[in-house]
Structure 1
Amino acid sequence: MKPLPRVNIDDRIFTLKYYVDEKYAHLKIKDPTVCKRCAEKPCLHFCPAGVYRLDRRGEITVGYQACVECGSCRVACPHANIEWDYPRGGYGVAYKFG
């Protein structure tokens, strides 16, 4: 049997459609000072969509508009410092095939 071709996660994410809720961020950091004290900053690595980034000041920023709603951030943060909810009805990611 022929192996399936490998697909880059960025190519998959590119096919998604987002309905951004400008009034309510469904994803946020509870306490930014906890992130400043965290040496490893695992949130920069575990999100498949790259929602978490460091800004110029070295602070974690959250681009909730690109969230694929996998929930890995609420599980993987060792400090339980991420507040994650499903987006309000009609908002969030729309998967093309399901």
Structure 2
Amino acid sequence: SAALRAAVALAADGGGHSPERVESLGGAWVAEEALAIGVYCALAEPSVERALLLSVNHSGDSDSTGSVCGNLLGALYGADVLPAAWLRPLEGRDTIERLATELA
């Protein structure tokens, strides 16, 4: 809970976004840091595209933080907010979307 509180506070302070600010939450090599970074990026950056880029552009475990941030933003907004150029090359997209619809 301390890591999440730090992420929410950092997102709310309005100090701008940078890899250094992301890394102030840790390197994401442990679960609570990865969750904090994903939450920070999703809260701090109103643009979905820029939030995702922020979540992976740091020197820590960026694939994990990108996954956390992407899952949070996907739950909030759905795939419609993602750039079409990012979605086109996805392998198995139709199957994944069909299964997700059936599960929901």
What is the TM-score of this pair, normalised by structure 1?
0.25
The structure richer in helix per residue is 2
* Greater gyration radius: 1
Bigger strand fraction: 1
* Alignment TM-score, normalising by the size of structure 2: 0.24
- More relative contact order in 1 or in 2 (CA 8 Å, sep 6+)? 1
